[in-house]
């Protein structure tokens, strides 16, 4: 258990240090493989003007680059806060073996990082969402999907 706690302490340290440095919100993450940290991430949203630069996404990108793969099988992710919907989706797509978090989404909401509206919007039909959403050129777009389905040399993920 002490090893897990040390990895989480590193994620927490990143969340504090990067926040104090003005990089973004108080979030940090580390990715571990075979008992070693292979990637670190911290929130860089405001310092890079990138709304996707959350700690978990930054760490996933770095880990995939280090490993030369788009999947993190055999890895664990430690994040200082329960992931938002975007990060949770990215974590599932990256396929690590385990995830650990410290603060909860309720803790995050209490300091202004409330993602409940996104969870609520996901449940709505596209036309009922607050963001104007409209389907266009479905038949034309299906051509890419049909070609993908027939592609012999595709790399599935």
Catalytic residue among 5, 56, 65, 147: 56
The H or E element that residue 37 is part of is strand 36-42
User: Of 47, 41, 48, nearest to 83 (Cα)?
Assistant: 41
Q: Is 76 a catalytic residue?
A: no
Contact 131/109 with Cβ under 8 angstroms? no
Indicate the burial class of 14 (C-beta count within 10 angstroms; 0-12, 13-18, 19 or more): buried
**Positions marked catalytic:** 56
């Amino acid at each position: 258990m002490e090893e897990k706690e040390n990895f989480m302490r590193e994620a927490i340290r990143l969340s504090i240090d990067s926040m104090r440095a003005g990089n973004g919100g108080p979030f940090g993450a580390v990715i571990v493989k075979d008992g070693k940290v292979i990637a670190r991430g911290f929130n860089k949203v405001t310092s890079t003007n990138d709304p996707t630069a959350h700690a978990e996404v930054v760490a996933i990108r770095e880990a995939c680059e280090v490993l030369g793969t788009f999947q993190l099988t055999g890895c664990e992710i430690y994040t200082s806060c329960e992931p938002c919907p975007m990060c949770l989706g990215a974590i599932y797509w990256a396929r690590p073996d385990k995830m650990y978090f410290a603060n909860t989404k309720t803790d995050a909401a209490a300091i202004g990082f409330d993602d409940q509206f996104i969870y609520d919007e996901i449940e709505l039909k596209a036309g009922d969402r607050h963001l104007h959403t409209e389907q266009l050129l479905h038949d034309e777009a299906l051509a890419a999907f049909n070609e993908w389905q027939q592609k012999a040399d595709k790399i599935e993920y």
